[in-house]
Structure 1
Amino acid sequence: MIVAFSVAPSGGDSVESDGGMSAAVAEAVRVVRASGLPCQTTSMFTYLEGEWDEVMPVVKAATDAVLAHAPRASLVLKADIRPGMTGQLTEKVERIEQQLR
């Protein structure tokens, strides 16, 4: 399964006083990277690959990391659920690159 998610802080003075949105998002990315699961971070989403029971606790922990900076968080999540498939985070892109050659 691949999950693309974005979690952002909102509301409260704490978001503005402790480094802004980027500090809160950096903490979420730190949680994702510490999980040991395959991941990628882009300007709009973080991608995470693993089984359902591996991925969802990481998404929750990343959201909790953002909530440590703000009283409210917004979470956008999209999932490609294909049990048993691994390596798709990079292989899907490689298949497109092959078509482009």
Structure 2
Amino acid sequence: MLVAFSVTPLGVGEDVGELVAEAVRIVRASGLPNRTDAMFTTIEGEWDEVMAVVKQATDALAERAPRVSLVIKADVRPGVTDALTTKVETIERHLAG
């Protein structure tokens, strides 16, 4: 599955980059395929392992902020692997054609 998520600490001021970086650090340390852009971090893996990473990243921010906002979008396709890369390659191929 692919899970795109955004976790935002609330009540800590406008500059949340340092805290968000901690969440991304947790994702990268997980060893699961992932990609971060300006709005979301996307992780690929099995349900339990992906959700465990999302929880760990959320919990890390909750330790340092009085409130945390979490947005999740999931693409659940059993048997599909490397969707993190192939979905983008498909779009790029269509754009080039």
TM tier, shorter chain?
over 0.9
Calculate the aligned-residue CA RMSD, in Å. Answer: 1.3
Unaligned runs of 5+ in 1: none
Supply the distance in 2 between the matched residues of 1:80 and 1:90 (Cα, whole angstroms). 14
Number of paired residues?
96
Supply the distance in 2 between the matched residues of 1:92 and 1:6 (Cα, whole angstroms). 20
TM-score (norm 1): 0.90
Q: Do structure 1's residue 6 and structure 2's residue 1 form an aligned pair?
A: no
Supply the distance in 1 between the matched residues of 2:62 and 2:15 (Cα, whole angstroms). 13
Unaligned runs of 5+ in 2: none
Aligned to 1:63: 58
| Runs of 4+ with >3 A deviation | none
Aligned to 1:88: 83
Supply the distance in 2 between the matched residues of 1:91 and 1:61 (Cα, whole angstroms). 27
